[in-house]
Amino acid sequence: MEHIVQDGGTKGFAEFAQKMEEKWPDRPGYRRVMVSEPDQGMYDAINRGLKRATGSICAYLNCDEQYLPGVLKTVLQRFKGSSDVDLFLGDVVVVDGEGKPICHRKMIRPSLAHTWTCHFGALTAGIFFRRKVIDQGLLFNTSYRAVADAEWFLRILKSGISIQPLRFDTSTFMEAGNNLGLSLRAKEERLLLNRSAPIWIRLLRPGWVIWHRARRWLRGCHRKTDVCLEIYISESSQRRKFTAKQLRTTWPGRITNF
C-alpha cells in the first residue's frame, strides 16, 4: 500500500505531515509520501502525485471524496482475477455535507461520443487503473482546470484501454454546493471540449444522450436500492454509519447527468 498526499503549499502542512508520521509510520507493506509544493492547479497536483507512485494499481481522491471500508482489498482482488482489464469503474454514493446519502451513481462504460459532447458519465472517486495508463502518458491536461477528468477519459477511450464496471459501491462524493464541477469555468470548459469534437459527432448529440440513457436503463443503473455506508465526517476519528432506503439514482440539480 502506497499513500501519496500532494499539497499545493498549505500553511502548517509540515506539522500535519509530522503528526501523520507519528500516527501511521512507514512499515513493511506500507509507504507514505507527503509533499507540499507550488503547482498549477488541482490536476497538476494529481499528475505530480501519480508520477511519484510506484504501485502497479493506481487511484486518487480529491478532498471531498473517500473510499468505503475494505474497498481497496476487493478492487485488488478483481484486478488479480481480471488480467485483461486495465481500468475499473466503481459505483459512487453522493452524500451531503453531513454525510447523508443524496443519490446512487451506478456506472456503465462511458461511450466516446457521449463523453465528448454531453458529460463525463463516471466519477473519478471510483476509478482504479493499472500503472500502464500512466506509463502510456495518459495524465491530465492541465490547460483544463475544471473538466480535465472528462478530457482525460476521452484519451483513455481512444487509447483502447480495457474498461469494465465493478458494479459495487467503492466511494463517496460529497456534494457541498461549491464543487468545481458546478462553476462557471466548468461550464465554459465543457463547451470548449464539446466544440473540439468532429462536427458529425456534435450534430448527433441528441442521439448520444438517448443512447446513453437507454444503456443505463438496460443495465439497471436506475433501479433504486437500499444503501448502507460508513464514512468519516469532518474531523471525526471514527466512521459514522448512514443508511438510505431505496436511494434515488438521479442527481438532484444535475438532470443533464441522468
Q: What is the DSSP string of 83-139?
A: TT--EEEEEEEEE-TTS-EEEEE---PPPHHHHHHT---S-GGGEEEETHHHHTT--
What cell does 198 get?
468532429
Does residue 255 have a pLDDT over 60?
no
The domain tally of the chain equals 1
- CA atoms of 219 and 109, how far apart (whole Å): 11
Kindly state whether residue 56 falls inside one of the protein's structural domains. yes
Kindly state whether residue 10 falls inside one of the protein's structural domains. no
Q: What is the pLDDT of residue 116?
A: 96
Kindly state whether residue 9 falls inside one of the protein's structural domains. no
Model confidence at 9, in pLDDT bands (50, 70, 90)? very high
Nearest alpha carbon to residue 129 among 94, 166, 92: 166
Question: In the chain, what is the greatest distance between 2 CA atoms, to the nearest angstrom?
Answer: 57
Kindly state whether residue 125 falls inside one of the protein's structural domains. yes
Please tell me which residue, 173 or 186, carries the higher pLDDT value: 173
Model confidence at 237, in pLDDT bands (50, 70, 90)? confident
Mean pLDDT of 54-82: 96
Domain with residue 210: its CATH number is: 3.90.550.10
Kindly state whether residue 174 falls inside one of the protein's structural domains. yes
Kindly state whether residue 28 falls inside one of the protein's structural domains. no
Lowest mean pLDDT among 20-29, 36-45, 85-94, 107-116: 20-29
Kindly state whether residue 11 falls inside one of the protein's structural domains. no
Kindly state whether residue 18 falls inside one of the protein's structural domains. no
Domain range for 143: 39-257
What percentage of residues in the chain have a pLDDT greater than 70? 96
